[in-house]
């Protein structure tokens, strides 16, 4: 932190992975257990006050993450105190101590609330002082999700059933891949989103892939600047209808162009969806990216717009 003012707040980046099954989504709720709630409760144990984190992408109930990113702000005193006077970097101390606090929150604390213990459901991958201008949400340039479908070709592995969607339809992955290319680019994804009041449904999809892995699962991967509510699951459900021959390949593109939210698309189950990665620009561009994202306007319907994840 060379060159920082001694009393200036320290922005901290934490990279997380989690199993979404024991939680009612990411966002903190008054009664239900959530990933954010567990993380903030663990942080409060360390710094002895309420802590609020900002997340790169909110995930729904049951959705998992391998590459989630959050930020929080600590005082300079709180940051240095993490090492407890040891010859240890505060970031290293935070990662180690936060893992210990999470073990308590996900174990004994859940048991006392009458909830099943879920040790290891949240893993701290990395903790570090963030570069100047970093914002976990607004500095991001892309989020990447994966979704796994078992249509029988993989042999129905019961040990991975909580991470795959079992469908009775036999799917043509090549047809799905070709049809999904209609979604690449800057579009209004209203047909595939649950709109939030005052938020845009315009997103830029950077890449979509559909292929069978070595075990026979159909794996859909999608990367975009941001995702609106239920967007990935709606796209997966629609692509699966095309892959099963229930709709022709051009149907995905037509639905996109129609910009109508109706019952025509089956929303795929949440439990097979994984946030794999959040990408950021180089350190020098973090502040500019955050400012541009906050100021971004919907190109089709002018008005305030920001990422809805």
Same domain, 150 and 57: no
Same domain, 154 and 267: yes
The domain tally of the chain equals 2
User: What CATH number should be reported for the domain holding residue 157?
Assistant: 3.30.70.660
Report the pLDDT value the prediction gives residue 196, as an integer from 0 to 100.
81
Strand partners, 257: none
**Is the residue at 223 inside a domain?**
yes
**Is the residue at 209 inside a domain?**
yes
pLDDT in tens, 230-289: 999 999 999 999 999 999 999 999 999 999 877 767 899 999 999 999 999 999 999 999
Report the pLDDT value the prediction gives residue 84, as an integer from 0 to 100.
84
pLDDT grade for 306, boundaries at 50, 70 and 90: very low
User: What CATH number should be reported for the domain holding residue 48?
Assistant: 3.30.70.580
**Is the residue at 193 inside a domain?**
yes
**Is the residue at 243 inside a domain?**
yes
Report DSSP letters for the chain, one per residue: -TT--TTS-EEEEEEEEE--TTSS-SS--SSS--HHHHHHHHHHHHHSS----EESS---TT-EEEEEEEEEEE-HHHHHHTTTTSSS-HHHHHHHHHHHHHHHIIIIIHHHTT----TTSEEEEEEEEPPTT--TTTT--EEEEEEEEE-STT---GGGGGGSEE-SS---HHHHHHHHGGG-EEEE-GGG----TT---EEEEEEEEEEE-TTS-EEEEEEES---TTHHHHHHHHHHHHHTTSS-TTHHHHHHHHT--STTSPPPPGGGEEEEEEE---GGGHHHHHHHHHH-B-SSS-SB-----
**Is the residue at 289 inside a domain?**
no
Give me 175's structure tokens: 């047809």
- Per-residue pLDDT averaged across 194-200, rounded? 81
DSSP-based three-state secondary structure for 23: coil
- To the question of pTM greater than 0.85 for the whole model, the response is yes
Show which of 91, 107, 129 is a domain's final residue.
129
Same domain, 91 and 199: no
Same domain, 205 and 277: yes
**Is the residue at 254 inside a domain?**
yes
Q: Does 8 have pLDDT greater than 90?
A: no
Q: What percent of the chain has pLDDT over 70?
A: 93
Q: Does 199 have pLDDT greater than 90?
A: no
**Is the residue at 63 inside a domain?**
yes
pLDDT grade for 9, boundaries at 50, 70 and 90: very high
Instruction: Point out the catalytic residue in the list 60, 73, 89, 157.
Output: 60
Same domain, 49 and 107: yes
Q: Which of 198-202, 211-215, 219-223 has the lowest mean pLDDT?
A: 198-202
Same domain, 213 and 180: yes
User: Whole domain around residue 50: which residue ranges?
Assistant: 10-129
Q: Does 144 have pLDDT greater than 50?
A: yes
Same domain, 164 and 213: yes
Across all residues in the chain, what is the average pLDDT?
Answer: 92
Measure the N-to-C terminal CA separation of the chain; round to a whole number of Å. 31
pLDDT grade for 301, boundaries at 50, 70 and 90: very low
* 60 flagged as catalytic: yes
Report the pLDDT value the prediction gives residue 302, as an integer from 0 to 100.
39
Q: Does 5 have pLDDT greater than 70?
A: no
**Is the residue at 296 inside a domain?**
no
Same domain, 107 and 16: yes
pLDDT in tens, 63-86: 999 999 999 999 999 999 999 878
- CA gap 98, 105 in Å, rounded: 10
Q: What percent of the chain has pLDDT over 90?
A: 83
- Residues 249, 254, 255: CA angle, nearest 5 degrees: 100
pLDDT in tens, 103-141: 999 999 999 999 999 999 999 999 999 999 999 999 999
């Amino acid at each position: 932190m060379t060159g920082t003012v001694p009393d200036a707040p320290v922005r901290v980046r934490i990279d997380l992975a989690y199993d979404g099954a024991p939680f009612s989504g990411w966002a903190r709720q008054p009664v239900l257990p959530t990933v954010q709630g567990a993380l903030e409760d663990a942080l409060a144990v360390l710094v002895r006050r309420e802590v609020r984190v900002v997340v790169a992408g909110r995930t729904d109930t049951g959705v998992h993450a391998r590459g989630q990113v959050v930020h929080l702000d600590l005082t300079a005193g709180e940051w240095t105190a993490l090492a407890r006077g040891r010859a240890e970097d505060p970031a290293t101390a935070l990662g180690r101590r936060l893992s210990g606090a999470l073990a308590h929150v996900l174990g004994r604390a859940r048991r006392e609330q009458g909830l099943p213990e879920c040790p290891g459901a949240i893993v701290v991958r990395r903790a570090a002082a963030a570069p100047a201008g970093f914002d976990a949400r607004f500095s991001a340039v892309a989020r990447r999700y994966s979704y796994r479908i078992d249509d029988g070709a993989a042999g129905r592995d019961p040990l991975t059933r909580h991470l795959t969607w079992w469908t009775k339809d036999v799917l043509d992955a090549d047809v799905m891949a070709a049809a999904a290319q209609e979604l690449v680019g800057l579009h209004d994804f209203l047909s595939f989103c649950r709109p939030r009041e005052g938020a845009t449904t315009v997103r830029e999809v950077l890449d979509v892939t559909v292929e069978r892995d070595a075990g026979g699962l159909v794996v859909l991967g999608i990367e975009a600047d941001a995702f609106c509510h239920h967007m990935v699951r709606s796209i997966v459900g629609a692509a699966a209808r095309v892959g099963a021959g229930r709709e022709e390949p051009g149907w995905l593109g037509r639905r996109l162009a129609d910009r109508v939210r109706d019952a025509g698309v089956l929303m795929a189950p949440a439990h097979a969806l994984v946030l794999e990665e959040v990408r950021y620009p180089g350190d020098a561009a973090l502040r500019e990216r955050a400012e541009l994202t906050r100021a971004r306007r919907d190109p089709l319907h002018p008005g305030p717009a920001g990422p809805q994840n």
